[in-house]
Amino acid sequence: MKAAEPESGFSMAADGGRSLLLQTIQSISRGHFDALDTLYALPGEEGIAPEVAELAESIGLILVRLEARDFHIELAAEAEQRLQELNALKDKYLGIAAHDLRNPLSSIRGMSQMLIEMDLDKDTRKSFLESINRVSNQMLTLINDLLDVSVIESGGFELNLTEGNLSELVDERAGIATVNAQQKKITLSTDLQDVPNCMFDTERFRQVVDNLLTNAIKFSPSDTNIHLTCREIGTTIEIAVSDQGPGIPPEEIDKLFGAFETLSTRPTGGEKSTGLGLSIAKQIVDSHSGEIEVESKVGIGTTFVVRIPVKQQS
């Protein structure tokens, strides 16, 4: 490291050593502490009084501290940014609790109280009980999703990998989804090929397939078809769900897998959408070293593709 030296032609007499002092202070502030040696080594007569040299050293050190402080301020700003993000997430949780849980709870309370106290006709009673049942299920799903997101956010997401067959799992989920699809006059076709067994978390993967199927049903109009495939491609197993829904505008594709992102497209049967499902699905697929992709054309339909390796890396 080179010490600060007086410029050529430097004259102590000319500015009383001011330039040399400034240079030395600057050097110290950049961490070049040996610059002090030059200062202290100046010949006695022309030299700078030791008090002044000490002062220069002190100022230099103050500058070093100031720089360190700037660095800490930067760190603090980053921490504050993260805190703000978490705060925004918390606000979204509260927003969901306020609207999506409070409304159905109020309606459940209102309907159940009427069922207890009033002599209602058979049709009203039936529609109340069906609504209470449906809304309770929706609330339970929402609470489960919120808990999943909170586990993911806190980094405590763990997989329970066992050997199984994805084609069989997809077949099982398709059977269950068919009932919901039929209610909206949507057909479900499948092409499930023989695939080798692989390691996956059965419960979590059920969630992924259910989520893709539920979304497809939610956003598809009546008299359309949802096509579901499972096949082996190279070293991966691929599951694809294609719908003939309204499609997703290109500018919204990037937001698709973010937590709490609901897009401009609305469910066709008045269903609820909290924007948590796809974010959870992506997290599950990612943790299987897999990938989830979407292809969509507005007015034509959307295909979600999930691929996971046949052999999981430990």
Partner 1 sequence: MNGDIKPRVILVDDDESIRIWLKGLLVALGCEIAGEAANGRDGVELFKKERPDLVFLDVQMPELSGDLALEYILAADPDARVILLTSVDSSRFIYERMEAGAHYYLSKHAPPDEFKAALEEQINNLKQIP
- In the complex, least distance from residue 98 CB atom to partner 1, rounded to whole angstroms: 7
- In the complex, least distance from residue 80 CB atom to partner 1, rounded to whole angstroms: 29
Nearest residue (CB) to partner 1, 69 versus 126: 126
Measured over the CA atoms of residue 257, residue 259, residue 261 and residue 262, the dihedral's sign is positive
Nearest residue (CB) to partner 1, 117 versus 194: 117
Nearest residue (CB) to partner 1, 86 versus 98: 98
Residue with token string 């109340």: 128
Asked whether position 55 contacts partner 1 by CB under 8 A, the answer is no
Asked whether position 263 contacts partner 1 by CB under 8 A, the answer is no
Asked whether position 144 contacts partner 1 by CB under 8 A, the answer is no
Q: What is d(CA 20, CA 39) in angstroms, rounded to the nearest whole number?
A: 8
Nearest residue (CB) to partner 1, 205 versus 219: 219
Q: What is d(CA 291, CA 270) in angstroms, rounded to the nearest whole number?
A: 30
Contact characters 87-126, partner 1, x per CB under 8 A: -----------xx--xxx-xxxxxx-xx---x-x---x--
Q: Report CA 49 to chain centroid distance, whole Å.
A: 61
CB 258 within 8 A of CB 276: no
Residue with token string 């299920």: 137
CA distances (Å), 72 to each of 27, 59, 60, 68, in order? 22, 20, 19, 6
Please identify which residue in 65, 82, 90, 134 interacts with partner 1, judged by CB under 8 A: 134
* Residue 270 per-residue DSSP state: S
- In the complex, least distance from residue 103 CB atom to partner 1, rounded to whole angstroms: 5
Q: What is d(CA 117, CA 111) in angstroms, rounded to the nearest whole number?
A: 10
Please identify which residue in 9, 43, 234, 270 interacts with partner 1, judged by CB under 8 A: 270
User: Two tokens at 270?
Assistant: 């008045």
Positions touching partner 1 (CB under 8 A) are 98-99, 102-104, 106-111, 113-114, 118, 120, 124, 127-128, 131-132, 134-135, 266, 270
